[in-house]
Structure formats: structure tokens, C-alpha cells
Amino acid sequence: MSGGERAWWKEAVVYQIYPQSFNDSDGDGIGDIPGIVEKADYLDDLGVDVVWLNPVYDSPHADNGYDIRDYRAILDEFGTMADWERLIEELHDRDIRLIMDLVVNHTSDEHDWFLRSREDHARAGDGDLESGDRDDPDADYRDWYVWRDGDPDDPPNNWTGAFGGSAWTYDEDVGKWYLHLFLEKQPDLNWKNPEVREAVYDMMEWWLEEGIDGFRMDVINLLSKPQSLPDGDPDDEWVGHEHFIDGPRIDEYLTELTERTLDNYDTMNVGECVGATPEHARRYIDGGLDMIFHFEHVRLDWDEEDGWWRLRDWDLTEFKEVFTRWDREVADEGGWNATYLGNHDQPRIVSRFGDDDQHRVASAKTLATFLLTMRGTPYIMQGDEIGMTNYPFESMSEVIDPQTAGRVREGMAAGRIDSFDDVRHLVRARSRDNARTPVQWTDGEHAGFTEGDPWLPVNPDHASVNVADARADEDSVWHYYRDLIALRDDHAVIVYGDYDLLLPDHREIYAYTRTLDDETLLVVCNFDDGTPTFELPDGVAFEESELLIGTHGGEVAAAATATDREPTDAPAAPERFDLRPWESRVYLLS
Ligand code: TEU
């Protein structure tokens, strides 16, 4: 059968909730768990099957929760464990599953494990730090993180952190260096130490026993670092990545992790794998992951030479090539893909892949068409279901995201830029804060997100882009998402059908078929503001056709009359038709 074995997580539509920006229930300007509970019916109405919740754990929030201080506690601003229990109950009552973020490449430097690790080095005479009170004086946490001796002026190797600067910080009190592939406040755990792995599995087990339905695993392909810590190519944007991405023991760690925890439950998991290839994906899936997030399509607009620092013009044919290759090399080989266009680390999808100006609604719908009819489990970032756009950043004071702030600071220090004016276009195009601004519920004050001062400014376009208006308008992006989600439930071909690309060289149209048994889905998306004519290539045979859904409703432009663009109620003609700007259509052929 096509599409491999059936599984609920292949059929599911996942909705990503970034808690601090979703809905604030108590007026402190920060979204919270009771705020999500208030919107449980909203999620149910939209029809999503799974919620992926970004980190809600106790954390000093140096990296918005990806720096965890206590894996088994909820951050005060987000609520309590009782609130969380209420959330999972409300979701499960509506048949919506919940997956949590698993961040175990690193912890916060305020995590008890790291505090103990420092203390134990001190106790062993490695430094001047006083040993604190300990429940278990025999335990030894020295080897829980990646510590190295060395001269305070000379880090153990040339690796850099993902957000800039060296990947090493010298701890004066301990008299050693520790590794952090992200911020100084995010020390990397030492996965070579079996005690670390056991502690992680215990924690995962604890959440699984709480009833969660799986994990999204943060930078999971970075867990294994080579013992010798070799220098990386100094010219790379992330120096050392060839050593710590897909490191020497990664397969062993992933297999052990899934066998010891997830395999004993009915769960789904998705590994975030920066720098991954289809070959990596196949191995990780063999090792127990269900699917991975790769980064190829979200790197198309990075410059080959200057990376983040220059916007690259990309072509639709490259975009098609990426998705087609991943389908052929992963899904056709018995694996499974995760389809995403945006998330909390990426700009808004309509601003990046669509047209957030003149064709905001049509292009947001076309992106939805692709996202929800491609072979793979689709992930919707909160706010994309109403076509939220990038934020019009005007000054450095608005840039909170440590990645963007770090790069701009480094650029200034290196003399690459003089002022914000020199990077405004890059911040606007790339800042991770673009997708982190509060969800726009209404056209009212702070978009109805909070009664206080929002932690991140609300996008001024909430006057016209908001949930209340979108729900009241049958032609809105929101209704279109809802209809597409519902269609997936009715047509197995959308989930399990084989994918075949049509017109690979067409620069405006992304068209493909999905085939299961005697049904074929024909998806035609105009990814541009022109009005191309679609012609069905030879070889797609059918007797009957039905227009299942289209960005411009059931009405289609008059077939094959280039001059007449007036919508008509003429029957859908899949062999040849004109497309309006950013128009998409999905036909069922049988
Ligand atoms: O992201 C991994 C990652 O590589 C991002 O840091 C980066 O934003 C990406 O390359 C896009 O440019 C994960 C989390 O999703 C992110 O929010 C965390 O900051 C990071 O890990 C550290 O935990």
C-alpha cells in the first residue's frame, strides 16, 4: 500500500502553540496555560488533532524557555502543574492530543544538575567554589556537562555558538571551560555519561505517565560530540557543525532514547534536526524517530556566501526540488516527513513564501493548500491560520530574540554595519520575533491578547488581520484552513497517496498528484502574482473530476481564455485552465 503503514500521527494535523504569545488570561502581558484552556474550543473548531506546546517548564527564559531550570515544573508566569493538568484534560476531552517540547541537548545554567556539576568540580579541588549542601554527598555530577581544562584565554576549540561568539565559556570559580552550542546560559549535557541519559529517560517517563502523547525533540541531532573535540572549518557560519551535527554516537543515543521511553507508549515524536539530509532522516527514523524537521527549504533565502547577512533570491523550482527529493528519499523509502513552512524560529510564512501585501489572503490560502495536501504530517504555527504577517521592526529596542540581537551586536562589533538602518531589512525578513508576536484575536486593544502590556509588541495589522473578523468571513484564510483540515479526514488519498511532481521546471506553478488505489488528487498552486495557464501533462488519466477546494471558491476562471479573467460557474476543467494570482485548486480525479 502507498504511504506505508497507517498511523494516527500520519493522519494528524499539528498546531503549534507558543505559550507566551497565544492568549493571556491574567493580564500580565504574557500568555499562559489557562489562556490556552480558554481557547480549547477554538482549536476544536479549527479541527486540529495535535497540539505541540513550546516549552512551558520552569526557566529563566534566556532563550524563551529553551533553557530549562526544572523539567518537572511549570514556569510561574505560565501557571501551575494543576493548570497544565486541566489543559491536557480539556484537550483530550476534545480528542486533541498534546506533545511537549523535549530540550535535552542542554539545560539552563540554573538547573540543579549544572549547579551540582560546578560544585563537584570545586569539591574535587578543581576550583575555588564552595561545595553546597547536598542530599546525596556521594553523587558526582562532574561529568554531566562538557568541561575542559585549559588556559582562560584559549578555548578548547574554535566552535561557535548558534547565536554567535565562542561555544565555550570559562567558569572562573571552577577553573574550567564548559561547552554551550547555544547561549552561555545553555550548557550542553554530556550524553556520553549514562547517568545523564538515565536522568533524561526518567524525566521523559514522568511526562509520559502524566498522559502526554509524545515529544517534539529540540536539536536532537546535536547530542553526540566527538571526544577529541576537533576544530571546525573557521569560515563556516556555525563553526564546528561538521563535528556536532550527526555526531559519532547519535544513532545509538536515539535508539536507546526511543526504546527506553516512547516505544512503551502510543505516541508520536518529531526530531528537530538542523543541517539534516534525507540520509540522516532515514537513519533516525530507523532508530525510532517518527519524522524530523529539516531546514533545507528555510535556508533557500540564505546567501551561499554571507548566510544570514544577505537575502538570497530563490526560485520556485528550487523549493519544489527540496520537497520532491525529501519525498522520494524519505517517504518513498518507508519513512515519513513533517511538512512545515514556519515555526517560532522562522518568519511568518505569508511574508516569506507568499505575498503579505496585495495578495495576502490568496497567498496564505495557497500556502495552506500546499501544507495540507503534501505527503507528510502538517504543522501549523499559531497565527498562520489567519495569515499573520511579519512585524515592521523600526528599532533595535524591539528586537528581543537572542539570535537576531546576537548577530546584530556581532555585526556592529566587527564593523560590518553601523546602525540599525543597515540591518532593518534583514531583521524584518528574518527575526525569530516575527512569528512570536501575540496572536491577533480581535481588532481591539492589544488584539485581544492581553489586558496588560504585551511582552512583545502586537503587529499593527491586527486592525484587519484577526481571528474575530476571519471567523465572521466565510472567504477568510481561517475558513479555508478549517475546510482543508476537514478534507484530510474525508480523503485517505491526501494522507497516504503517493506524491508525483508535475511540471518540475515551471517557475510559477507548483503542481503535483497524490495517488492511492484508483483515486488521484491533483493539486495546482500558483505561487506567484501572474496569471499562468495550467496544462495537465500527458499520463494523468481519469474519467471524472471534482473540484474539492480552491482558494477562489468553487468559481473558476473561464477555461483557456487568456483574455477573459472573469470568474464563471463553468464546470471545473482540470486539463487546462488559467490561474488567477496565487490561486490554487485541488481536484479529485477518479
Ligand atoms: O532551534 C535550533 C536552531 O538551530 C535555531 O536556533 C535557529 O533559530 C534556527 O537555526 C533558525 O535559524 C531550537 C529551538 O527551536 C530554538 O527556539 C532554540 O533557541 C534552540 O533550539 C536552542 O534550544
- On the question of pLDDT at 68 being above 50, the answer is yes
Distance CA 343, CA 78 (A): 20
Pairing state between β 584-589 and 519-526: antiparallel
Q: pLDDT tens digits, residue range 104-155?
A: 999 999 999 999 999 998 887 766 665 555 556 678 999 999 999 999 999 9
- Tell me the DSSP string of 141-184: -GGGB-EE---TTS-SS--B-TTSSBSEEEETTTTEEEE-SS-T
| CATH 3.50.50.60, applies to 498-589 | no
Q: Which atom of ligand 1 lies at the shortest distance from residue 343's CA?
A: 15
The residue contributing the CA closest to ligand 1 atom 16 is 345
Query: Could you tell me where in the chain the CATH 3.90.400.10 domains are found?
Result: 112-179
> Does an H or E element contain 25, and which?
none
Give the binding-site residues of ligand 1, using a 6 Å CB cut-off. Answer: 63, 66, 103, 162, 182, 218-219, 272, 274, 344-345, 403, 432
- On the question of pLDDT at 1 being above 80, the answer is no
Q: How far is the CA of 329 from the centre of ligand 1 (A)?
A: 25
Contacts of 234 (CB under 8 A, 6+ apart): 158
Exposure letters 455-479 (e unless 16+ CB within 10 A, then b): bbbbbebbeebbbbbbbeeeebbbb
Per-residue pLDDT band for 541 (boundaries 50, 70, 90) equals confident
Cell reading at 67: 533553557
CA–centroid distance for 187 within its chain:
22
Per-residue pLDDT band for 558 (boundaries 50, 70, 90) equals very low
Q: How far is the CA of 442 from the centre of ligand 1 (A)?
A: 30
Q: pLDDT tens digits, residue range 437-496?
A: 999 999 999 999 999 999 999 999 999 999 999 999 999 999 999 999 999 999 999 999
pLDDT at residue number 132: 52
- On the question of pLDDT at 570 being above 50, the answer is no
Mean pLDDT of the region 387-396: 96
Q: How far is the CA of 238 from the centre of ligand 1 (A)?
A: 12
pLDDT at residue number 137: 65
pLDDT at residue number 535: 96
The residue among 224 and 570 whose pLDDT is bigger is: 224
Distance CA 427, CA 577 (A): 39
Q: pLDDT tens digits, residue range 266-314?
A: 999 999 999 999 999 999 999 999 999 999 999 999 999 999 999 999 9
Query: Could you tell me where in the chain the CATH 2.60.40.1180 domains are found?
Result: 498-589
User: What is the number of residues in the chain?
Assistant: 590
Torsion sign across C-alpha atoms 62, 66, 72, 74? positive
Per-residue pLDDT band for 572 (boundaries 50, 70, 90) equals low
Helix, strand, coil proportions of the chain in percent (round to 5)? Answer: 35, 20, 50
pLDDT at residue number 560: 35
Cell reading at 308: 544570514
406 SS3 class: helix
Distance CA 161, CA 304 (A): 20
8 Å CB contact between 431 and 442? no
Mean pLDDT of the region 91-115: 98
Please provide the CATH number assigned to the domain covering 112-179.
3.90.400.10
Mean pLDDT of the region 73-100: 98
Query: Could you tell me where in the chain the CATH 3.20.20.80 domains are found?
Result: 8-105+192-481
pLDDT at residue number 128: 60
204 SS3 class: helix
The fold of 8-105+192-481 is TIM Barrel (3.20.20)
Cell reading at 459: 503587529
Distance CA 141, CA 119 (A): 8
- On the question of pLDDT at 562 being above 60, the answer is no
- On the question of pLDDT at 563 being above 50, the answer is no
In testing the pocket of ligand 1, which one of 52, 64, 67, 274 has its CB within 8 Å of the most ligand atoms? 274
How many CA atoms within 13 Å lie on the side-chain side of 524?
30
pLDDT at residue number 129: 60
Please list the active-site residues.
218, 272
Mean pLDDT of the region 517-533: 97
Predicted model pTM: 0.95
- Tell me the DSSP string of 496-524: HPEEEEE-TT-SSEEEEEEEETTEEEEEE
Distance CA 523, CA 589 (A): 11
Mean pLDDT of the region 541-561: 74
pLDDT cut 70: percent of the chain above it:
94
Mean pLDDT of the region 217-246: 97
pLDDT cut 90: percent of the chain above it:
89
